[in-house]
Structure 1
Amino acid sequence: MLDEAAGDPALAQLRDELVEQRLQGLRRFAELLAERGALKPRLTVDRARDLIWTLCAQSNYDALVGARGWSHTEYREWLSDALAAALLPTAG
C-alpha cells in the first residue's frame, strides 16, 4: 500500500490514518505497562511506544521469515525476547 499511496491522495490519507491508529494503540499498550510499573526505569511511554512500533514492524517479519527463512515460531520467540529486553526491567 505504501507504493500505491504515493500516487493516490485517498490512499495516502488512508495509510496515514492507519499508521496513526496503530501508533495510538501501541501507545495505549505502553501506557498500560507504565501504569502497572512494568516499564524499565526512565523509559517513557512515548519511547516504549516507539520501541514496540519498531520491533513489531511488518518489515521485520517479512525480512526474517520471508527472506531469511525463520519459522513463525522462531520469529515469535525472538520478538517476545526482544520486546521483554527493550521494555521490561531486569529481574533482581
Structure 2
Amino acid sequence: MSTQGYRSTLRADQAALGKARIVRAALDAFSELGYSGTTVTAIAERAGVSAQTVYNGFGNKRALLAAAYTLAIRGDDEQPLRDSPAYLAMLDAPTAAEMLARYAAIGAATVSRTAPIVAVILGESGIPDVGKLARIIERQRFAGAEYLVGRLTDRFELRPGLNTEDATDTLWSIMSWEIGFKLTGQRKWSWDRYEQWLAEMLIRALLPVQDRPATPSRDS
C-alpha cells in the first residue's frame, strides 16, 4: 500500500471511530436525559468533539436518535441482528419449539439491552421526529415477525386453524416492548423469567399440541 493509500485508510478508520464514539455518547445521553432533555452540544461534550462535528456527521438530533437505537439493537456486534450467530442458529433449530425458544431468548436479550432508549422513544413519541422513528421501528418489528413466521412455516406446521397472517400478528404482539416493560418493570420479573414466559407463550400460541414440550430448552 502506498503512503497516500495508508493515510487515506487511517483517516477513514479514525472517522469511523469518531462516529462510533458520537453514537455511543448519544445512546447514553438519550437513555439518561430523554430526547427533549438531550442537546447536540451535550452529546458532543460526551463524545469529546465539537457540536459542528456532530452535525457534519449526522445532520440532526433525530438521526442521532435513530443511530443510537440501531446501536442498542445490535449491541457490541456491528452486524445486523439477522446476520448474528445466535439468529442463524435459531433458524437452524431442530424443532419448531426449539426455534421459538431460541427466538424468545434473542427477543428477551434485545428488550433488555434496548429498554432505556426504547422507553424514551415510546414515551416521547408525541414529538413529531420521535413519533416518526417509533413508527419506522414498529414497521421493522412487524417485518421481523413476518420473516420469522415465514421461516418457521418453511419447515414446520402451525397449530390447526392458524394462518400465517394471524401467526404474524400473534408473534408481533407477544414480542412487544410494552409487554416486556410491564412484566420486568411494573411486575418486577427477572429477565430469565420473562424469556421463559415468551418461549411458552409463543409455543402455545403458534404450534400444534404435539409439538409443545413441557419445558422448552434452547440449549440443545
Shorter-normalised TM-score: what interval? 0.7 to 0.9
Structure index of larger Rg: 2
Q: Which residue of 1 aligns with 2:187?
A: 68
Task: Tell me how far apart the structure 1 counterparts of residues 165 and 147 of structure 2 sit (CA, whole Å).
Answer: 10
Deviation for aligned residue 1:69: 1.4
User: Given the superposition, is the C-alpha separation of residues 2 and 62 from structure 1 closer, same or farther in structure 2, using an over 3 Å criterion?
Assistant: closer
Question: Deviations along 1:9-57, whole A, 9 cap, x unmatched?
Answer: x333322222111111110101111121331123111111111111111
Q: How does 1:1-92 map to 2 (within 5 A)?
A: 1-8=121-128, 10-91=129-210
Deviation for aligned residue 1:3: 4.3
Unaligned runs of 5+ in 2: 1-120, 212-220
What is the RMSD computed on CA atoms of the aligned residues? 1.7
User: Given the superposition, is the C-alpha separation of residues 5 and 75 from structure 1 closer, same or farther in structure 2, using an over 3 Å criterion?
Assistant: closer
Higher relative contact order (CA 8 A, sep 6+): 1
SS in 2 for 1:41: coil
SS in 1 for 2:209: coil
> Runs of 4 or more off by more than 6 Å in structure 1?
none
TM-score by length of 2: 0.38
Task: State the identity as a percent.
Answer: 30
Unaligned runs of 5+ in 1: none
TM-score by length of 1: 0.85
Task: Tell me how far apart the structure 2 counterparts of residues 41 and 83 of structure 1 sit (CA, whole Å).
Answer: 15
